[in-house]
Structure 1
Amino acid sequence: MLVAAMLALPVAGAAAADTLYHTVTLTAAEQLGRDVGRADARVDFVAPAAVEQLPDGSVPAPPQAAAMLSGALRGVQIASPVEAGVLPVGSRVVALPDKQQVRVRSAHGSYTVQIAERDLGDPLLGGLYQRIGGRAPRGVGEVTLSTSLLASLGRHVGDEVSVEYLNGSEQPGPDGRLPDHGLRIVGEYDEPSHLDADEVLAFPGTVPEPVDYVGAAHWLAQVPGGLSWAQVLRLNQGGYAAESRVVVLDPPADGLVPLLRDHQGAVAGNSRLTEALVAVGAVGVVMALMEVVLLAGPAFAVGARKRRRDFGLMGAAGADQRMVRAVVLADGAVLGAVGGVAGVVVGVGLGRLALPEAVRLTHREPGAFRVSLAELALAAVLGVVTGLIAALIPAIITARQHVLQALTGGRRGARGVPWRLASLGVLVLGGGVAATGYAVFQPGIHTVPLVAGIAVSELGVVACTPMVVALVGKFGRALPLTGRMALRDSARNRGRTAPAVAAILAAVAGSTAVATLLATEDARGRAQYHSTLRPGQVALMFGWAAANESAAGSRAGMRFDGLDTGPDAQPVDSRKAIAAIGATLPVRSAAVVMSQDFNGFVPIRVVVKRTPGNDCPFFGANSAPISAGADGESMIQADPRCTAAFSGGQVVPGDAATLRALTGTVDPAAEKVLAEGGMVVFNRYDLDGFDPVTGQGKATVALQRSCPPDGADMPEELRKQFGPYCSGPAPADTTLPAAVASAKDHSAVSGVRALIPQAVADKYGAKYVPSMILFDTTRMPTRAEEERANAAAESLGTTALLKVERGYQGGEDTAMLALAAVAAFVTLGAAAIATGLAITDSEADLETLAAVGARPRVRRTLAGSQATITAVLGTVLGSATGLVPAVAIIEARSHSFVQSAADARGGFLGVSRAVHAQSYLAIPWWFLIGTVVVVPVLAGIGAASVTRSKVEIRRRRG
């Protein structure tokens, strides 16, 4: 039963995972229902120029493209595809306006959520939203709320909810608050792909149009006969993209898709990524099956030894080795078949039971419950194959035993050290390390050598495990009685101990590798974290600064429509804001920071102009090439001239109060330069003629214009936007006396490159507006104070965003704890199996000890010692082995990042294809210590606690 259960376990896991995968993964038809509802296509306006799209409707574009387009189209009305004539005659469209932000009142405060105008009664929208209760809105002022939002507000269908529109269409009243609007909740509707979304759906016409509204950019279309790929290409020529039901269900060949035909580099990159994911998944499956074989093999061996008298009688009756092998292999086939069938049945049931939990974790409604009979049959066959492989070596060993020894019950443990197998293991390990090294350090991306090298290296370590177990047995004389017995028994019966150790090794190696990757990712994030604030400082951001900060915490490329960023939006009353925030936080001082206003299309920027000797040598048209094999990222970060590339920042007007807010200290010399009409920079390489004694020199600011070259072919709408900024020669550069300042802790000041006089800013025609208020605090604000400050910020009547700088927070430890739990579970399970087999196999020795007067607790202590020894050997070897693939993957990633970019672009910024980025290797020491120390102790305590102390002495046969 134990062997059958072990063989059924991976089959059940594979069947459950396969069932969940097929159920959660939507078919093309199911995905279309959520994307286009019952319409024939979803059409999106992308740009006032021809675009290229993929058959699924997506248009690859940089994240900032949407913001640039929004500015370029300010005041230009977007035409629907029917009005533009890009859809066939007889087509009908339903507009899907962009989601906007509203503030919803609740008993505990308020929530800022998204609202979208949707006519849920239109048949084309069927499938986009899931009705939970109530009905669809039928008139202005009626809304539906998502289940999540209803629960947060404590409201029900039939109640009324009060909202404030944050799209700039309304102005605050005398009390500083936006007008409240009462909306009636008539239904509960969820978006199937975002069940956790806090969302309001309103009847069209309920929400006032935002400032500079240019019309809807998304539509559901009903097209006679469907929308073909040829018609989609015609849409693309007009600047529209479409996800068509006909095209998705019957996609065109790659040669007919211009985007795939003209950009082979991107296709190759995606192909390499897919190959890598498939290869890593295959290695994981093979390693999991290997663990089962390693654990089930000793169980077959112990079972065969307990039946050795039966096999001896077979031999005495004339059975040859082939027949004995067939009997043991038949055990493996039968138990494998039982485990395979049972595992499939249990796995499908587990998959069905786990479906609600999968929905809770993914927040997505699954598709229809589906099972793949072919894949489940393959999983059952894997159970049979695994059973046969696990029984193979015990069958060979059993067939070779002498008939007389089998009949008399005599047995000898293994003696000596298995040097031959260990030598083979060392050779295999060396080959794996060589393949991994080649994949990492050779130019290009080498997925197969990398994955194969990792797998082969682990197999080499597994082959060396019997030798390690044998060598460790020689240290038994230094241990007390039970420890000495346990260690020597493990060494003499290494055919039973080594597979258990290897199984623990494989599990711990995998968890150690993933834990190291997570720790390294956290170290990378910590090293690359650049905040615009100092620890403990608070910023109240509004306008475009708040929009950028919100977008930084969201998915890349996602727009936050409806934020108060329009040119007509009312700014925050600085005095009122300082008073409101100062009443809730331990504020020491406050200052208003100006920023260039990038609302609309503004292709100009005030910058600091450096001398050629002070400029970063790795950027720009005349950048120096980085030699092959060099750590390019470390070289850039180590060069102080390149600091601005990471800290960034604008050139803004400011005074002494602004300087103190940015640096957190008083710098009389720098404040004097500002007062006399000079400027302050925060990097000494921005100065020309830097005097280290006075910390002063000269600095130059210039107007950077991003204008199209003369004669460039571009839409007239875009050309008009450049006109006010690109006509005539650019203003001359301005050189001023300058001082260099630094933060209180001598760290770099991020977000602001330099402070200049207001007169210089006016000279260049760049418009500056207040973007944030910086508050210096006497200590780090508490979470409660931050919540009260957020409430105060909301009461100002705008979309101001409050941020408290708490430094790098890092990722959650949930993933690391889950890995530790998995490693502990496998380790404890393998140690328990090995200990149970050892006790069963050494029953005669325990009976002998009891007969000569050993205390009953000896058996319990011996079991604990055996479990601890097995767990210690496995966790130590696994921890060391797991670092090898982790280091390889980290190094491969640092190399392939720049190489992929070079492959796609044919080289850029003078970077060689062999240049690699900086590696942030971090060892998770607490995880390793817990795995090597705590888990074996738990294994020993658990084995000792469940083992019976009393030994029953039975009459010996023979």
Structure 2
Amino acid sequence: MPVGIGVAAVTVYRANQPVPVYGPFDVPGWPLAGVAALALASGLLAALTPAVQAGRAEVAAVLAGRRDRVRDRAGLPVFGLVLVVAGVACCGIVTRLMGSPSVAMLALVFGVLVLVLGLVALTPLLVRVAGRTRAWLPLPLRLAARDAARNRGRTSPAVAAVLAAMTGLTTIAVLLSSQGADRRVNSISVNVPGTAMAFAEDLDEDQWAGVRSAMEAELPGVPLIEVRTVRAAGDVLPPLERRASLVRSCDGCSHSFGRLGDVVFGGPDLLRYVLGRDDPAAAAALAAGKAVSFDANGVRGGRARLSVPGMGEELTRVTVPAVAAHADRPPPFGALVPAGLADASRLTARTTALLIDPAMLRLSAEQERRLGARVSALSGQAQLTVERGSQVREEDLTLAVLALVAGLLVLVAAVVATALAAADARPDLDTMAAVGASPWTRRLIVASQGAFIAGLGTLTGVLAGLPPGVLAAWAVTGIPQGGSTYGADTSTALEFVSTPIVAVPWALLAGMVLVLPLVAALITGVFARTGIRLGRRLT
């Protein structure tokens, strides 16, 4: 556990450089204590099983070097199959329980647990069936499969441990990948990736002039795009909830906007940034003093209505000439108003951000650090952010950590089981040496035993973890009103819709199935003791 805490601390520190991805490092005491208690109980139960088996063995057979044949319990596979079906069914009802997320998550965990218990009960049968495929295998794998099938009491616990680890990893990997894909596909009100933005809501014009000067000194020649958030005339420092918003004409439609607000003042450079291209019609309308709405539902009859909160509870409705323009991606705000409309429409604005279009410059990590330090030094309220969502993804780091932990568990289980198998098979290895088998052949047999255990466990675990992972991903990403998509079918409207997304990390799972058995075979083959042991003679 201390090693794990140290690795976690280093991982969090490195993952937060240069852009924070995880939160601050924290050690949850009680959950870790529960994990330690569970590990201790599991270890005691794992040690109890072979002790009970050894106590039931016939003394005469052990002294004579004979092995008892393993007899499977007739009802165990049926019981395991029932548990597997019950576990999958329990995971399936998660889609109907998403109205209560805590209950749904509890049902998912319980379903996966029941599924794993059923697979553990089926493991001896799986080992026996896998052992029957030895006729098509090369000699080392054939002998390893035969040994595993004959000694299922020793092989099954190791395969079950690998299977349980891979089932949990696969379920979590599918869920995390699907949630990440859902966030990337259905993200709204996010700046263009690579955009650098100096943001502050309560700076006066003199302070913004200092921020502009600092940015121009640090990045000479780079154009800065000014964003001015619209508010009511006479309002000094409007909080977030008192910014102007675009009145939509649709019934029941939802919309969202970010820190810049829903309605902003700006020029042709800001219009080009939002659209990602030149739009002569929209630029001409903006130059003619018309607002540009990025939501088709916000324009009716060539006019747009703006809702502007005042100093008190009053709400002002302002009508301005407008045109609709289609953006190829979700815009960071709903409407762009030219500054010339301010006096005629009883509107005013306050600078809230300075943007750097990534088409002009993408800040490096060092430039971001230096510029962020200069901006923050001018005011504690100002901050510099760089949109790097497509470069740093939290779910990727989480999957890498989970894959590392699961891989270690698989390798430990495979190596320990192979060491026990090699010790039991020592007389067979000595017999092979006596009839002329080379040391490499004996080493390959031991390596094949590790590959058989790890391969059977990982493959079965991946196949078992896919159904609950897919069901969980379908339920979580398909929550009503939980996902959003940029509705091209409504020209420019943002809609909140149910969009289930299932993204299976095939590369990760295939790598685990292929790489882990090879690594287990390599470790066990390198450290196997295959030298000839002289037999003892009684005189």
Give the match for residue 762 of structure 1: 343
Residue 703, structure 1, aligned to residue 307, structure 2: yes
Picking from 323, 327, 349, the partner of 1:738 is: 323
CA deviation after TM superposition for structure 1 residue 508, in Å? 2.6
**Are 1:391 and 2:51 an aligned pair?**
yes
Q: Which residue of 2 aligns with 1:923?
A: 504
**Residues 827, 935 of structure 1: 8 Å contact kept:** yes
Residue 500 of structure 1 is matched in structure 2 by: 158
What does 1:44-123 align with in structure 2 at a 5 Å threshold? none
Q: Tell me whether 1:662 sits opposite 2:274 in the alignment.
A: yes
Q: Does 1:617 align with 2:272?
A: no
Give the conservation status (yes or no) of the 8 Å contact 1:580–1:792: no
CA distance in 2 between counterparts of 1:647 and 1:566 reads 15
**Is 1:426 aligned with 2:81?**
yes
Q: In the TM superposition, what whole-angstrom CA distance separates every residue of 1:729-765 from its partner, at most 9, and x where no partner exists?
A: x6564252424253xxx22321x32122435433554
One-letter amino acid of the counterpart of residue 592, structure 1: E
Matches of 1:795 and 1:866, distance apart in 2: 63
**Is the 8 Å Cα contact of residues 229 and 264 (structure 2) preserved in structure 1?**
yes
Q: What per-residue deviation string (whole Å, max 9, x for no partner) do you get for residues 558-605 of structure 1? A: xxxxxxx2668633258745642541xx73x43322113572569754
Q: Is the 8 A contact 1:607 1:651 kept in 2?
A: yes
User: Is the aligned partner of 1:452 residue 2:110?
Assistant: yes
Q: Secondary structure at the match of 1:571?
A: helix
SS at match of 2:191: coil
Which residue number in structure 2 is paired with residue 72 of structure 1?
A: none
CA RMSD of aligned residues (A): 4.1
> 1:291 touches 1:506 (CA, 8 Å); kept in 2?
no
1:682, distance to aligned residue in structure 2 (A): 1.5
| Distance (Å, rounded) in 1 between the aligned partners of 2:463 and 2:303 | 54
Aligned to 1:651: 263
Tell me if structure 2 keeps the 8 A contact 1:680–1:741: no
* Alignment match, 2:430: 847
Distance 1:533 1:439 in 2: 34
- C-alpha displacement at 1:866, in angstroms? 0.5
Question: In 2 relative to 1, CA 461–534 (structure 1 residues): closer, same or farther, beyond 3 Å?
Answer: same
Match of 2:402 in 1: 819
Counterparts in 2 of 1:246-645, with a 5 A limit?
Answer: 288=39, 292=43, 383=44, 387-396=47-56, 398=57, 401=58, 408-411=64-67, 413-414=69-70, 420-442=75-97, 444=100, 445=103, 449-530=107-188, 532-541=190-199, 543-544=200-201, 565=202, 570-572=207-209, 576=213, 579-583=216-220, 587=222, 589-596=223-230, 599=237, 604-611=242-249, 615=250, 617-619=252-254, 644=256
Alpha-carbon shift at residue 461 of structure 1 (Å): 0.8
Query: Counterpart in 1 of 2:331?
Result: 749
Report the more deviating stretch, 503-512 or 871-880.
Answer: 503-512
How far residue 843 of structure 1 moved from its aligned partner, in angstroms, is 2.2
Describe the shift of the 1:610–1:449 C-alpha distance in structure 2 as closer, same or farther (beyond 3 A).
closer
TM-fit CA distance, 1:820: 2.7
Q: Given the alignment of the two structures, is residue 671 of structure 1 paired with residue 329 of structure 2, yes or no?
A: no
Please say if 1:680 is aligned against 2:296: no
Change (3 A) 1:757 1:844: closer
Equivalent position SS for 1:767: strand
Letter in 2 for 1:487: A
Which structure shows the higher helix fraction?
2
Closer, same or farther: CA 406–926 of 1 in aligned 2, 3 Å: same
State the SS of the aligned residue for 1:738.
strand
Contact 2:226 2:354 in 1 (8 A): yes
Q: Please identify the structure whose Cα radius of gyration is greater.
A: 1
Given that 1:508 and 1:882 are in contact with CA atoms closer than 8 Å, whether structure 2 keeps it comes out as yes
- The one-letter code sitting in structure 2 at the alignment partner of 1:680 is V
The 1-side partners of 2:125 and 2:88 are apart by 20
2:334 counterpart SS class: strand
**Cα displacement (A) at 1:618:** 4.8
Gap regions ≥5 residues in structure 2: 6-23, 483-495
Distance (Å, rounded) in 2 between the aligned partners of 1:427 and 1:582? 67
Residues 830-850 of structure 1 show CA distances to partners (whole Å, capped at 9, x for unaligned) of 112211221222222222212
Decide which of 791, 800, 803 is 2:385's aligned counterpart.
803
SS at 1:758 equivalent: coil
Structure 2 partner of 1:363: none
Match of 1:875 in 2: 458
TM-aligned CA deviation for residue 460 of structure 1 = 0.6
TM-score of the two chains, using structure 2 as the length reference:
0.77
Secondary structure at the aligned position of 1:507 is classed as: helix
Aligned equivalent of 2:416: 833
Q: Which runs of 5+ in 1 are unaligned?
A: 1-12, 21-193, 197-276, 293-382, 545-564, 620-641, 690-697, 707-720, 900-914
Counting aligned pairs with the same residue, the percent is 31
Structure having greater relative contact order (Cα 8 Å, sep ≥ 6): 2
Cα gap change, 1:512 to 1:673, in 2 (>3 Å): same
Aligned to 2:526: 945
Distance 1:618-1:608 versus aligned 2 partners, 3 A rule: closer
Contact 1:483 1:862 in 2 (8 A): yes
Distance 1:791 1:411, change over 3 A: closer
Contact persistence 2:474–2:501 (CA under 8 A):
no
Amino acid at match of 2:237: N
> Structure 1-normalised TM-score?
0.46
Deviation per residue, 1:645-685 (Å, 9 max, x gap) = 78984222333343234334332211221222322111233
Please tell me whether the aligned partners of residues 610 and 688 of structure 1 are also in contact (alpha carbons under 8 angstroms): no
Partners of 1:937 and 1:195 lie apart in 2 by 35
Work out the CA distance in 1 between the residues paired with 2:404 and 2:114.
26
- Kept after mapping to 2: 8 A contact 1:439/1:447: yes
Counterpart of 1:25 in structure 2 is none
In structure 2, the CA distance between the partners of 1:290 and 1:427, relative to structure 1 (3 Å rule), is farther
Report deviation, 1:873. 0.8
Q: Deviations over 1:706-737 (max 9, x none)?
A: 8xxxxxxxxxxxxxx62xx63xxx65642524
Q: C-alpha separation between the residues in 2 aligned to 1:753 and 1:941?
A: 59
Cα distance change on mapping 1:433 and 1:531 into 2, 3 Å: same
Partners of 1:931 and 1:665 in 2: CA distance: 43
Q: Distance between the aligned counterparts of 1:774 and 1:568, measured in 2?
A: 16
CA positional deviation for 1:448:
5.8
Please give the per-residue CA displacement for 1:854-909, whole angstroms capped at 9, x wherever unaligned.
2233221111111111111111122233345544554565688989xxxxxxxxxx
Give the paired residue count: 494
Whole-angstrom CA distance in 2 between matches of 1:931 and 1:603:
49
Structure 2: distance between partners of 1:800 and 1:452: 47
Write the distance in 2 (CA, Å) between the matches of 1:465 and 1:893: 31
* Amino acid corresponding to residue 246 of structure 2 in structure 1: V
Give the secondary structure class of the aligned counterpart of 2:209.
coil
Q: For 1:805 and 1:677, how far apart are their aligned partners in 2?
A: 31
* SS class of match (2:207): coil
The question of whether the paired residues in 2 share the 8 Å contact of 1:647 and 1:749 is answered with no
One-letter code aligned to 2:86 = G
